[in-house]
Structure 1
């Protein structure tokens, strides 16, 4: 095998990889669930330590009056003034914005 052929194969593979990655990024407009959870945890950590957290990795439809969107559902728990506080949230899957927060 000639070096020229070998390098041409590598360059072709890299180009195909870049094209496939771009196509996948365009078809999935959602932020990753892990990223959404980390952002929400960062906001809660500003008020104190977090005891636990969870998020559902699959989106689900959410309707708030006239607005319909896909959301991730999750929860956060923390100890505040010696008491356990638990929250559940719904976050927009495209932007990561919390659209519902409920203290349990």
Structure 2
């Protein structure tokens, strides 16, 4: 009985040690962020293309610092193709800015 407890404890500690850094990573992946942006924007626009920078950058807005992914979308309308650039927060996946270029 004691052996089972000790071996279970050892396995639990090893798993916690190995998975700890992975579980602490609280950032949204660039792929997931792009998917969320496309889902939000597709309610209003027909998206024909998209891209996102894989490396986050830090910006300052209203005296607050954000770590963001920068990306872009192409939309198709009756008038032609329009280009948009966006910033999305790496922690929450929230779309912070969407501007026509």
With normalisation by structure 2, the TM-score equals: 0.79
Q: Where does the alignment leave 5 or more consecutive residues of structure 1 unmatched?
A: 1-7
Q: Aligned-pair distance for 1:102?
A: 1.0
Bigger share in strand:
2
Following superposition of structure 1 onto structure 2, how do residues 75-94 of structure 1 map, counting pairs within 5 Å?
Answer: 75-94=72-91
Q: Is 1:29 aligned with 2:26? A: yes
RMSD: 2.0
Partner residue of 1:45? Answer: 42
Partner residue of 2:100? Answer: 103
Q: Where does the alignment leave 5 or more consecutive residues of structure 2 unmatched?
A: 1-6
- Quick one: distance in 2 between partners of 1:96 and 1:86? 21
Aligned pair count? 93
